[in-house]
Amino acid sequence: MSGIFVQGYGAVSPAGWGVAPLREALTRGEPVGTKELSRPGWSSPLRVRAVPPPDPRPAFINHARMRRASPIAHFAVGAALEALGAESGKVSAGALRLGVVFCSLSGCVNYSRRFYDETLSDPSTASPLVFPETVFNAPASHLAALLGTTAINYTLVGDPGTLLQGLALAAEWLVSERVDRCLVIGAEELDWLISDALRLFHRTGVVSEGAGAVCLGPEPAPGHSIRLHGITQPYIFSKRQPRAQAALRARAELGMNGSDSLLCDGIQGVAGLDRDEAAAWRDWAGRRVSPKTVCGEGFMAAAAWQCVAAIDELARGTCATADISVVGCNEQAIAAQFVRSNNGSDTPVGSL
C-alpha cells in the first residue's frame, strides 16, 4: 500500500447541498445569510445559519429508513452519497467493504429535545417512533442500511477535533485491510438548545448545521490523486496544557508551510473562540480558507467542511499541500495535512 487516498468528498452546508455551493460561497467569502430561530420564552429570536431545503429533493429521503430520520441524518447521508459517488453501487452489490466513521458533537438534538419534552409533559404518550432517532449512532445506522453495508461502523462523539481522529481511524482500518473504503462524516443539526448553549459562552457566535464527508481508500482515485499525508497527535486541553498551548503544539508538529500551501482553519470571527488558533498560526505565510467565517459555527460539520474545502482546492490544483487546523471547543487541538500526488511523487511540506 502506497498510502491512503481521497476517493471522493461531499458537503451539505448553509450554502446548499453539495460541494459546489460550498466552494462558491467560500470563493465569494461573504457570510451566508442568517435566519431567525424562535426560542421558547424569549421574545427575540436566535440567529442561525441553516441548511436550505434541497432542490431537487434527493431520492434517498424517500427511503423507508429516512422518512422519519432527523435532519442530521439527512445531511450526513447527503454528504456521504456525494463522497461515494458511483461507488455506492459497488457497496450495495457487496463488491466493496465500506467502513463508516460518523462524528458529531451534539447528535440528534432535535428529536432528543422533543422526546424529553414529551416525557416531561406525559411519559405515557412519549413517541416510540422518536426515541430511537435520538441515539447518537442513528445517522450512521441509516446510512449503512441505505447502502447495504455490514462492515464496521463507529460513531465517535467529542469536540470538533474528533473528526481528524476519525480520519486516522479510517486510515487504520484501510491499512489493516479491514475495509476497502471508509467514509468519515462530520455532521450537526440546528436546535435552539445548541444556539442557546453557545450563547452562554460567546454571544456573537452563530450556530450552523450540515455535514461533510470524505471517502478514503488505499489507491488514488481515477480523477485525482490526493493523499492523506499525516495527522498530528491530539493535544488534549488540561490544567497542565491550556488550549493555547495545545494549539501551538499541534501547529509545531505539523511543521512550517511552503509557498504553495493552503491552510484551512477554524477561525470564525469570534474573538474568544479564535484567539488560541490565530496565535498558533500567526506565522502562516500561505493562503488561508476559513469556512466558519462563511458558514458559521457548525462544530463537527465545520471541521468536515474544512477538510472538504482543503481537498477540493487540491483537486482543482490550486495548491500542492493543504493543512487543516482544528482547535476544538473543549477537548483537543489537532491538525492534518493532505497532499496532491502526481504519478506517485508528491510534495509534503513540514515535519510530518
Three-state SS annotation for 200-257 = HHCCCCCEECEEEEEEEECCCCCCCCEEEEEECCCEECCCCCCHHHHHHHHHHHHCCC
Nearer to other proteins by C-beta: 115 or 281?
Answer: 115
Contacts to other proteins from residues 283-342, by CB under 8 A? 330-332, 334
With contact defined as beta carbons under 8 Å apart, do 102 and 139 qualify?
yes
Contacts to other proteins from residues 134-163, by CB under 8 A? 134-138, 140-142, 144-145, 148-159, 162
Q: Is 27 exposed, middle or buried (0-12, 13-18, 19+ CB in 10 A)?
A: exposed
The cell numbers describing 195, all together, are 444556539
Nearer to other proteins by C-beta: 53 or 128?
Answer: 128
- CA 200, CA 189: separation in Å to the nearest integer? 19
Contacts to other proteins from residues 104-123, by CB under 8 A? 105, 107, 112-113, 115-117, 119-120, 122-123
With contact defined as beta carbons under 8 Å apart, do 189 and 209 qualify?
yes
Instruction: Quote the DSSP letter at residue 271.
Output: H
Interacting residue with other proteins among 230, 266, 298, 350 (CB under 8 A): 230
Interacting residue with other proteins among 29, 89, 172, 317 (CB under 8 A): 172
Nearer to other proteins by C-beta: 32 or 248?
Answer: 248
- Does position 182 interact with other proteins (CB under 8 A)? The reply is no
Contacts to other proteins from residues 75-104, by CB under 8 A? 100
Interacting residue with other proteins among 197, 256, 279, 285 (CB under 8 A): 197
Interacting residue with other proteins among 54, 61, 63, 126 (CB under 8 A): 126
Nearer to other proteins by C-beta: 33 or 42?
Answer: 42
Nearer to other proteins by C-beta: 16 or 230?
Answer: 230
Amino acid at 149: T
Residue whose C-alpha cell reads 494549539 in the numeric block: 247
